[in-house]
């Protein structure tokens, strides 16, 4: 067993739903599974999560891992009632989100002449391109254009966007451009949430 992990450690799984928050605890030594359900707390989801964990497990020091999922996020995507989001990507890749491939490769859609692609999560007028490019190995081929990022920040402010996603090509190998773009955006758009793909999931698409 890894150093620092209690002899009897617990893995916690959490699913936050619109009405209830479900918590599952697994004792890694005995294999015992416990479950608990508590009302969700929309104003601050963390409160419901902590209440659920406390309802199952009173010794937080023995928790070795917490795995978190949320039905709320899935519902928000499906219902289209989340934040007004802008996307900033590498020049030439603005329409990748809309072109897509995955859905058309599925058996029930490839040869379905009535298939209608759902609208992209970010509409085209809120998708922006910036001059920068990394190679497939993460080397810088074209430095990030700071001035372009600042101009985009002004457009985003005019659109009253509440969240910005930065997704540059090959950033999972080298996040330097995404980090710089985020720094510039945060300074210009102080009330807007900015996140990067290299923060969320630094893996090859």
Per the model's pLDDT, the better-predicted residue between 183 and 59 turns out to be: 183
Residue 2 confidence class, pLDDT cut points 50, 70, 90: very low
2 domain-assigned: no
pTM: 0.72
Same domain, 15 and 103: no
The 10s digit of each residue's pLDDT in 5-51 is: 444 689 999 999 889 999 999 988 889 999 999 999 988 989 999 99
- Check: CB of residue 16 under 8 Å from CB of residue 45: yes
pLDDT of residue 186: 96
104 and 72 assigned to the same domain: no
User: Per-residue pLDDT averaged across 125-148, rounded?
Assistant: 96
Q: How far is CA 108 from CA 35, 58, 100, in A?
A: 37, 48, 16
Residue 150 lies in a domain: yes
- Three-point CA angle 56, 58, 63, nearest 5°: 85
pLDDT of residue 6: 45
Is 4 part of any domain?
no
**How large is the average pLDDT for residues 66-74?**
85
pLDDT at 97 over 90: no
Q: Are 48 and 92 part of one and the same domain?
A: no
Nearest to 165 by CA among 189, 142, 143, 144: 189
What's the CA gap between 105 and 99, in Å, rounded?
13
Domain extent at residue 36: 10-76
First to last CA, the chain: 33
Domain final residue, candidates 42, 57, 76: 76
Total domains in the chain come to 2
- Name every residue whose Cβ is closer than 8 Å to that of residue 90 and which is 6 or more positions away in sequence: 129, 130, 132, 133, 168, 169
- In whole angstroms, what is the distance from residue 26 CA to residue 134 CA? 43
Q: What angle do helix axes 176-188 and 146-158 make, rounded to 10 degrees?
A: 40
Of the residues 25, 54, 76, which one is the last residue of a structural domain? Answer: 76
Asked if residue 72 has pLDDT above 50, the reply is: yes
Among the three residues 29, 45, 76, which one is the final residue of a domain in this structure? 76
Count of H-run helices and E-run strands, the chain:
7, 10
pLDDT at 118 over 80: no
- Statement to judge: residues 55 and 116 lie in one domain: no
- Report residue 4's pLDDT band, with 50, 70 and 90 as the boundaries: very low
Same domain assignment for residues 158 and 108: yes
Residues 45 and 137 in one domain: no
Share of the chain above pLDDT 90, in %: 57
Average pLDDT of the segment spanning 68-85 = 83
Do 146 and 174 fall into the same domain?
yes
In a domain, 5, yes or no: no
pLDDT tens digit sequence for 146-191: 999 999 999 999 999 999 999 999 999 999 999 999 999 999 998 8
């Amino acid at each position: 067993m890894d150093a620092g992990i209690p002899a009897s450690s617990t893995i916690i799984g959490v699913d936050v739903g619109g009405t209830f928050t479900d918590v599952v605890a697994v004792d890694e030594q005995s294999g015992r599974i416990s479950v608990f359900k508590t009302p969700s707390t929309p104003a601050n989801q963390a409160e419901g999560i902590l209440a659920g964990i406390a309802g199952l497990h009173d010794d937080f020091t023995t928790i070795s891992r917490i795995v978190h999922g949320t039905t709320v996020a899935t519902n928000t995507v499906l219902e289209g009632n989340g934040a007004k989001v802008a996307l900033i990507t590498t020049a030439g890749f603005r329409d990748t989100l809309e072109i897509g491939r995955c859905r058309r490769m599925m058996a029930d859609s490839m040869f379905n002449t009535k298939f209608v692609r759902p609208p992209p999560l970010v509409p085209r007028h809120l998708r922006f391109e910036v001059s920068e490019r990394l190679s497939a190995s993460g080397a810088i081929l074209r430095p990030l254009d700071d001035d372009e990022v600042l101009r985009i920040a002004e457009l985003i402010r005019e659109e009253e966007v509440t969240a910005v996603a930065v997704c540059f090509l090959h950033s999972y190998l080298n996040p330097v451009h995404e980090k710089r773009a985020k720094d510039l955006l945060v300074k210009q758009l102080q009330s807007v949430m900015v996140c990067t793909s290299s923060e969320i999931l630094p893996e090859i698409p």
